[in-house]
Every structure is written in C-alpha cells, then in structure tokens.
Amino acid sequence: MTRLPFTDLVIDLIKSIPAGKVATYGGIARMAGKSRGARQVAYILHSFSAKEGLPWHRVVNRAGCISLRPGFGYEEQKDRLISEGVVFDEKDTLDFGRFLWIPGPEECQETTPPRDITSCGGNDS
C-alpha cells in the first residue's frame, strides 16, 4: 500500500525533532501543510512509531502537556523527555519558550507559527 505524501512528510518531521525538544500535533500538521491535521498526526504516530522508529515521545499537545493518560504511556513519555533534559512544572506542563522545536523554513510546507497556550487542557493538537 502506498503512503500519502502527507504521511511521509509527517514521519520525516517527527524524525527531525532533536533530543530535548518537542513539537505539537498541530504544529507538525501545519509544517506538513495541513493546518487542521492534528488528529491525522496522532494517527500516524500511533500507526508508524514502531515501524519507523519515531521519537513519539517528543510530540505533545498544544498546551505543552502529555496527552497520554497515566497507565497508558504517560509515565514512559515523561521519563523519556526528562532523560533528554526537558523540564516540567508543577502542573506537568513544559515551557514552549525553552523546549519547542522551531525548524527552519526549508523543513516546512506551511510556516504558521504555533499558538502559545500555557495551561493544560487541550488534547489533540
């Protein structure tokens, strides 16, 4: 089965997130040219992380929080990020000013900057 170009671009972008940095589902979607494709990014992560060796733990929601629930990958994702130097505050939110990956324009299809939302509560972008 042939993959769509969007899927390949999302996979390449996720592989490009450096250690110690994060991206959001919606940010990856925007970079891949689909401003409303956050859920597609989540699906691609779920479907291709193991096959493609994706650093899935570097993708968080738009609030700077881990979307996975405790007992369903939350702890592993947090531990992996902490081991790369990512710091969480007392509300388990990370600082996008320090940890958000901003790629160069050559890596993006669309260059809309990510929204800055500082409280947890978002769930899919």
**Would the pTM of this model clear 0.85, i.e. be above it?**
no
pLDDT at 109: 56
Banded pLDDT at 114 (limits 50, 70, 90)? very low
Q: Amino acid identity of 67?
A: S
Radius of gyration (Cα) for the chain, nearest Å?
13
pLDDT at 106: 63
Q: Amino acid identity of 20?
A: G
Q: Which residues face 100 on adjacent strands?
A: 22
pLDDT at 112: 45
> 55 in helix, strand or coil?
coil
